[in-house]
Amino acid sequence: MSTASSPSRLGALLMTPVHFVMRLIDAPVRGLQKATGIGGMAAFFLAPNMLIFGIFVLLPLVINFVYSMTGGTAFFLSERQFVGADQYARLFTCGSYLDPMSCQEDAFWTAVGNTFWFVILQVALMIVTALITALILNRDLAARSFWRAVFFFPVLLSPVVVGLIWKWILQRQGLLNFILYEFGGTEPYTWLTDRNWTFAATIGVSIWAHMGFYALILLAGLQAIPKDLYEAAEMDGTRPARVFWRITLPLLAPNLLVVVVLALIRAVQIFDEVYVLTGGGPGTSTLYLTQYIYETGFASALRNPGLAAAASILMGVVLVVLTLFQLGIGRKQENKGKR
């Protein structure tokens, strides 16, 4: 970078302690290098990352299975007694598999049911909106990067901020009631105390917060479609709808599939914004799986970490299946690209 001299001089000044530390590290590492040879240094460079990784990701992953087979409220494994598959059995004990309320852990099945409908509706609606947005952003717009940024803005916001923004808008004296009052003369309504409206709100808010991300990926897919196909279609006087169904959609399909799976994986784990917006309520109408795991493991007075671990493993299985599916799609596309 060859910018003005003062910022670069400031940068150099700031880097001085860094260089000093790096030089300090160099001496012992040089000694290590003498002992292990150049090849052994790979292990040295890999070690910190793998260590943190092993302790905070791999180890919990393994322990989780052990955890799910123990009972009691203690957190340290040594203080927990082995109960075998009891926790799983408890999750699956139901009077009738069609009615979540007949299960011993009715909250779990309520959460599963809620999450299921949430995932289906949220992903379907979000992908459709993201696709429309991507198609529109792919047109010959002036200031396209501005419009792209507009739809991307909420993606960066923290889920807590997203939850609070919408809690503020949906409350009784909120903006939504004001707009309805101004244009429809409707009486103020409390959106977040009605089961169905609250459920709809969690879907709408999460679409608002994440749609821009998927629109961007789809936009990249659209831009990869060869332009000459469209030019040929235009010369033939093909109607836009036909162009969409016959050219755009088939060529975007692989991209679309990846995006759908990615959205599914994220939707299954929904927690933060909903927790702030509704807290899972009213009642259990917006209680989703992650919140169930969180509350069973940590928050409730009757906390049961083993049960939470068992539930989290069941959720993990769903996620692994979805991810393998996604990797499978990726591989297929790569092979296609090679041919």
Partner 1 sequence: MGAAARFLLRRQGVNKGGRGWHWTDVVTWIWLVGGLIIMFGPAVWLAFSSFKTPAALAEFPPSILPYVTSQATVEGYDKPLQLYDAKMPDGSTRVLAEVRRIGLVSQMVDPQAPGEIVRVNMNDRTPVRTLSFATSNYTEPFVHFDFLRYLWNSVFVTVVATLITLVVNSMAAFALSKYEFRGRSAAMLIILATLMVPLSVIMVPLYSIISSLGLFNSLWGVILPTVATPTGVFILRQYMLTIPDELIDAARMDKASEWQIYWRIVLPLTAPALAVLAIFSVVWRWNDFLWPLIVLSRRELYTLQVGLSIYSGELNVQWHFILAMTVVTMIPVVLVFIFLQRFITTGIAGTGLK
Q: Considering only residues 131 through 190, tell me which ones interact with partner 1, judged by CB under 8 A.
A: 132-133, 136, 139-143, 145-161, 163-169, 172-173, 175, 177-178, 181-182, 188
Q: How far is the CB of 103 from partner 1 (least distance, A)?
A: 21
Q: How far is the CB of 309 from partner 1 (least distance, A)?
A: 5
Burial of 76 (0-12, 13-18, 19+ CB in 10 A): exposed
CB nearer partner 1, residue 94 or residue 200? 200
Distance CA 258, CA 326 (A): 6
Query: Of the candidates 11, 12, 56, 124, which one interacts with partner 1 according to CB under 8 A?
Result: 56
Distance CA 323, CA 55 (A): 23
Query: Of the candidates 7, 60, 72, 113, which one interacts with partner 1 according to CB under 8 A?
Result: 60
Question: Interaction with partner 1 in 214-233: which residues (CB under 8 A)?
Answer: 216-217, 219-220
Q: How far is the CB of 247 from partner 1 (least distance, A)?
A: 15
Query: Of the candidates 8, 10, 53, 193, which one interacts with partner 1 according to CB under 8 A?
Result: 53
Grouping H, G, I as helix, E, B as strand and the rest as coil, residue 97 is coil
Q: How far is the CB of 240 from partner 1 (least distance, A)?
A: 6
| Helical (H) or strand (E) element with 12 | helix 5-53
Number of shown-chain residues binding partner 1 (CB under 8 A)? 106
Which amino acid type is present at position 282? P
Q: How far is the CB of 20 from partner 1 (least distance, A)?
A: 12
Question: Smallest Cα–Cα separation from 113: which of 317, 285, 316?
Answer: 285
Check binding of 58 to partner 1 (CB under 8 A): yes
Residue where the block lists tokens 């947005």: 133
Question: Interaction with partner 1 in 88-117: which residues (CB under 8 A)?
Answer: none
CB nearer partner 1, residue 85 or residue 317? 317
Q: How far is the CB of 62 from partner 1 (least distance, A)?
A: 8
Question: Interaction with partner 1 in 289-308: which residues (CB under 8 A)?
Answer: 289-290, 293-294, 297-298, 305, 308
Decide if 181 contacts 189 (C-beta within 8 A): no
Q: In this structure, how many other beta carbons lie within 10 angstroms of the beta carbon of residue 68?
A: 23
Please name the residues in contact with 247: beta carbons below 8 A apart, sequence gap of 6 or more. 225, 229, 230, 233
Question: Smallest Cα–Cα separation from 277: which of 155, 183, 164?
Answer: 164
CB nearer partner 1, residue 191 or residue 208? 208
Please name the residues in contact with 66: beta carbons below 8 A apart, sequence gap of 6 or more. 77
CB nearer partner 1, residue 96 or residue 173? 173
Q: How far is the CB of 338 from partner 1 (least distance, A)?
A: 19
Residue burial 80-91, b: 16+ Cβ < 10 Å; e: rest:
beebeebbbebb
Question: Interaction with partner 1 in 223-282: which residues (CB under 8 A)?
Answer: 234, 240, 258, 262, 265, 269, 271-272, 275-276, 279
CB nearer partner 1, residue 94 or residue 125? 125
What's the Cα-to-Cα distance from 205 to each of 9, 76, 200, rounded to whole Å?
A: 46, 38, 9
Grouping H, G, I as helix, E, B as strand and the rest as coil, residue 172 is coil
* CA dihedral of residues 180, 182, 185, 189 (deg, nearest 10): 40
Q: How far is the CB of 117 from partner 1 (least distance, A)?
A: 18
Q: How far is the CB of 107 from partner 1 (least distance, A)?
A: 16
Question: Interaction with partner 1 in 18-47: which residues (CB under 8 A)?
Answer: 22, 25-26, 29-30, 33, 38-39, 41-46
